[in-house]
Structures are given as C-alpha cells and as structure tokens.
Amino acid sequence: MTTALTLDRITKRFGGLAAVQDVTVQIASGEITGLIGPNGAGKTTLFSIIAGKTRPSEGRVLCFGHEITGWSAHAVCRLGVCSTHQVVRPFGDLTVLENVRVGASFGASGRLGGRTSAEEAVDTLTFVGLAHRQDSLASALTLAQRKRLEIARALATRPSVLLLDEVLAGLTPAEIQQGTALVRQIRARGITIVMIEHVMRAVMDLSDRVLVLNYGRLIADGSPAVVANNPQVIEAYLGETTSED
C-alpha cells in the first residue's frame, strides 16, 4: 500500500518543553487514522508541523515521498495536504459560497481541470450538505454548519491528505452521527484522513488505525480494538473519558 505521510523522528521544542518527542510513523494512503491523547499531548502541534504551520526542531515530514519539512503552509496545501482548524475560523463577513471559493482559488491551484472556483465551491457545498446556505453569511451558521463549512473549505483545495482537528467537538449526538457519515464519504473519495478527536466512540468507530500521544510521545499504534485495550492508553486517556463519552 502507498504511504501518504511519513513522520521521521519528529520533535518540537518550545524553549525547554518538548511538545512532540521523537515521533516516527507512516500513514497509509486511503485510510482513516485517528490521533488521540489527553489535552496537551502534542496532537495539534503535530498537525501544525505536517501542515507547514510550525517547523519541527528535529526530524522530517514526507508526503507521498516528497520531503516537505519546513515548507510554508500554502505550499503544503498546494501539494495536497490541508487541515481544518480546531476552533472554526470562517470569514464571517463573506458568504458561505465565498468562503469555499477561497479554498478552491488558492489551495487547488492547477487541480481544477478547467473548472471555475465557483463551480468547485458549489459542488463541494452540495457534497457537505450546505448548498442551501451558500448565500448566507458564514457568521449566521450554527456550530455544526460552521464545522461543515470548515471541512468544505478544506475539501475545495482538492487535498490528497485531509487533517481534521476535532470536527465533531461540541456537536449533539445526532450531529456527530451526521459528521461521521460525512467523514466516511470523504474517505470514499480516496482522500487519506488523519483526525484528532475526543469523541471516543466516533473516532474508534471511524478509524482503521489509531495513534496515541501522551506527553508528546507516541505510546500506542494499532487497530482501535488493540489500542482500546492497551493498559498505557487506558491509564493515560481512555480511562479518564469513557464515562463522559
């Protein structure tokens, strides 16, 4: 199977604090990989390194064999790796359609095949179930709709690898169910997905493979069933949250 992402000995220090420590992993193309761990474990820092928002202190990042360590965020995006934001950040004074056109215009450079950014945006909004709100201001959307808009804006860049940062957080059970269905539909398009998520039932149900970070270190890597029964994981994370989730 093709390797979509390779993280080779990734370390990130902020002063004397190592937020990520010596993480090495290969992520297969076309799979959903869950990335879990307690708050402060280094998950979002690792995403930022992959997406070009943060440069690692040590180590390398490769995407489909191309080393992208230290590339700018827009260069990584144009290569085909796009991330959503943990706190959704739509352009509130733009319409829903205009928000998605931003992704299509600037991220999908050379990948639209003659289509306009507006055509790409409309199709993407239809796919995520927001076509009926395309003329609304982004600021008028509900939280669940803003999360879908965040996903749509990322999808409009035509990514090969999509990094989803807590896209289910704060949603109702019904909205979580709809969100998990959307993630499966995205994977069905052949897009490799890595997702940070605290909604444990959802991430365990969705993921082909689960990675667990604790204090910046990778402490478990395997199928959801194997990871869920790992004593280190239970102690570090799952045992703290199973009653809530």
CA dist., res. 124 & res. 166, Å (int): 20
pLDDT in tens, 112-125: 677 888 999 999 99
pLDDT of residue 238: 52
What is 102-136 written as a DSSP string? HHHHHTSTT-STT--HHHHHHHHHHHHT-GGGTTS
pLDDT of residue 237: 62
pLDDT of residue 112: 67
Please check the confidence at residue 166 and state whether its pLDDT lies above 80: yes
Model confidence at 189, in pLDDT bands (50, 70, 90)? very high
8 Å CB contact between 180 and 167: no
Kindly state the average pLDDT of the residues 129-141. Answer: 96
8 Å CB contact between 109 and 78: yes
Kindly state the average pLDDT of the residues 10-32. Answer: 95
Tell me whether residue 64 is in a domain: yes
CA dist., res. 164 & res. 108, Å (int): 18
Please check the confidence at residue 227 and state whether its pLDDT lies above 70: yes
Please check the confidence at residue 245 and state whether its pLDDT lies above 60: no
pLDDT in tens, 62-113: 999 999 999 999 999 999 999 998 888 899 999 999 999 998 888 766 666 7
* Residue 12 structural domain: 1-78+194-245
Model confidence at 241, in pLDDT bands (50, 70, 90)? very low
Tell me whether residue 5 is in a domain: yes
- Integer CA distances (angstroms), 100 to 20, 85, 91, 120, in order: 32, 15, 10, 8
**pTM of the entire structure?**
0.91
**Nearest residue to 189 via CA among 150, 155, 144:** 155
CATH number at residue 16: 3.40.50.300
CA 47 to the chain's CA centroid = 8
> Percent of the chain beyond pLDDT 70?
94
Tell me whether residue 160 is in a domain: no
Q: How many domains does the chain have?
A: 1
* Beta strands in the chain, from DSSP E residues, in sequence order: 3-14, 17-28, 32-36, 58-63, 66-67, 81-83, 161-165, 192-196, 209-214, 217-222
Kindly state the average pLDDT of the residues 47-67. Answer: 95
Tell me whether residue 132 is in a domain: no
pLDDT of residue 172: 95
CA dist., res. 88 & res. 101, Å (int): 17
Model confidence at 244, in pLDDT bands (50, 70, 90)? very low
Tell me whether residue 35 is in a domain: yes
Tell me whether residue 140 is in a domain: no
Kindly state the average pLDDT of the residues 38-42. Answer: 89
Model confidence at 141, in pLDDT bands (50, 70, 90)? very high
Please check the confidence at residue 34 and state whether its pLDDT lies above 90: yes
